[in-house]
Amino acid sequence: MNRPFANPLKQLLREGKKTLGAWAQLGSPLTAEILARAGFDWLMIDMEHGPGDIMTLISQCQAISGTECVPLVRAPWNDFVVAKRILDAGAYGILFPYVNTAAEAEAAVRACKYPPQGIRGVAGSPRAVRFGQDISHYLSRANEELLVLIAVETLEAIANLPEILGVEGLDGVFIGPMDLATSMGYFANPGHPEVQSAIARAEERVLRAGKVLATTCTSWEQAENLYQRGYQMLMVLADGVGLAKLAADRVTAFRKSFPQR
């Protein structure tokens, strides 16, 4: 029996809970399934820097559909046509990259909402509505249940956060440390004190506005610190990077133990 569309991740966030996520960047349904079955609350399927397209997105969503893991997507750009296709494929939310102004944030929100709140096209045939078998249940709840996040990656965006955070329908902000550092002149160096100061300003503004705070991290120690600072969404692992690190560690261990083979 079909039930009204519900997003369990958004419910956790409404309750103020911490959630655990991972990057799915390889465009692979197999790694998506592995991560989902490991118990992550959500996956961020990366269509900005990953190689995937709509068909690989669908295969990744299908691979995790038997679990409680929620599929989110980092869109390649803040484009309403791309957003429409991502949502019709079955994503439960979108992270829009490189949003710098309230107008851009509003455009992102409107791309995810059916009229009158937005401009998303209504169709009764895509995967999101179970190919016509779940139209009313999905359409009646999609505007409320889909998660809309924007990425803050420049000082301009941080300066404009008071206006951005006032956009109705925006659920949260992802702070992109690498792009922010690079935009500030500290190429790929998010640890620089000036970058950390800018991040702290952004964190304070997002939390004060009562929005969800999200980012990525490279260690569990860093994750614990970020959770304590108020983050609710952290990407603590990436399929490609994680596999590459594990492979390199094993090769290093082998060569150390058997230098002469």
What is the reported pLDDT for 245? 97
**Amino acid making up residue 171:** D
Active site residues: 49
Distance of alpha carbon 60 from its chain centroid, rounded?
A: 15
- The predicted pLDDT at position 214 comes to 99
Can you give the pLDDT at residue 4? 85
Which residue is listed with tokens 């594990």? 246
Predicted TM-score (pTM) of this structure? 0.97
Report d(CA 52, CA 138) in Å as an integer: 25
* pLDDT digit string, tens, across residues 210-235: 999 999 999 999 999 999 999 999 99
Q: What is the pLDDT of residue 134?
A: 87
Note the pLDDT of residue 247: 98
For every one of its 261 residues, what pLDDT tens digit does the chain have, with 9 covering 90 and above?
577 899 999 999 999 999 999 999 999 999 999 999 999 999 999 999 999 999 999 999 999 999 999 999 999 999 999 999 999 999 999 999 999 999 999 999 999 999 999 999 999 999 999 999 989 999 999 999 999 999 999 999 999 999 999 999 999 999 999 999 999 999 999 999 999 999 999 999 999 999 999 999 999 999 999 999 999 999 999 999 999 999 999 999 999 999 999
pLDDT at position 1, please? 55
pLDDT at 108: 99
How far is residue 102's CA from residue 138's CA, in Å, rounded to a whole number?
28
3-state secondary structure 175-199: ECHHHHHHHCCCCCCCCCHHHHHHH
SS3 per residue for 196-252? HHHHHHHHHHHHHCCCEEEEECCCHHHHHHHHHCCCCEEEEEEHHHHHHHHHHHHHH
Regarding the domain with residue range 8-257, which homologous superfamily does it belong to in the CATH classification?
Phosphoenolpyruvate-binding domains (3.20.20.60)
Cα end-to-end span (Å), the chain: 60
Which pLDDT belongs to residue 153?
98
